[in-house]
């Protein structure tokens, strides 16, 4: 049996929404869903959320493992030298929790939970000396096991 063609949308929507909610008061956008407005690009701190996958692997008949990767790019204007670590840590803590996957576009019933794997924070330092911009990424791999829904 083939992978369910809705899995990608359900997983993307669930994970992107979870991370967007985690941003709280920090301006955030989901890549490919929301526009980079001038106000967003000029915000002194902001987060850009990307979701890649799923990579589907049928382990046995109609039993699938799907791997998904989330990436948050954090941008902060130079000032408080620890603010970028605070924001990265916020996303790290949220990524370390299971994420419920729902059937978006339907009855929003429960599909399963994405389980987090390795979480990596990478600091790039001051990437734009003229505008004094610091950047970091927070990356997490997730997996979920599903049967044909």
Instruction: Note the pLDDT of residue 95.
Output: 97
Give me the pLDDT at residue 141, please.
98
Identify which of 134, 142, 12, 141 has the alpha carbon closest to the alpha carbon of residue 74: 134
Q: Which pLDDT value is given to residue 25?
A: 94
The tens digit of pLDDT for each residue in 101-132 reads: 998 776 778 889 999 999 999 999 888 778 78
Q: What is the pTM assigned to this prediction?
A: 0.90
Domain spans in the chain, listed from the N-terminal domain onward = 7-147
Residues of the chain with pLDDT under 70: 1, 106, 149
CATH architecture for segment(s) 7-147: 2-Layer Sandwich (3.30)
Listed in sequence order, the residues at least 6 apart from 142 whose beta carbon sits closer than 8 Å to its beta carbon are: 15, 67, 68, 69, 70, 99, 114, 115, 116, 117
């Amino acid at each position: 049996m083939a992978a369910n063609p809705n899995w990608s949308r359900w997983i993307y929507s669930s994970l992107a929404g979870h991370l967007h909610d985690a941003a709280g008061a920090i301006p955030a956008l989901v890549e490919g869903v929301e526009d980079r407005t001038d106000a967003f690009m000029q915000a002194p701190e902001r987060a850009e959320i990307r979701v890649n996958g799923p990579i589907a692997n049928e382990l046995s008949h109609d039993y699938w493992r799907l791997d998904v990767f989330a990436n948050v790019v954090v941008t902060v204007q130079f000032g408080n030298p620890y603010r970028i670590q605070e924001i990265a840590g916020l996303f790290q803590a949220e990524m370390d929790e299971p994420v419920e996957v729902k059937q978006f576009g339907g009855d929003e019933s429960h599909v399963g939970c994405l389980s987090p794997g390795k979480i990596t924070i990478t600091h790039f330092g001051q990437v734009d000396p003229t505008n004094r911009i610091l950047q970091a990424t927070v990356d997490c791999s997730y997996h979920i096991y599903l049967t044909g829904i």
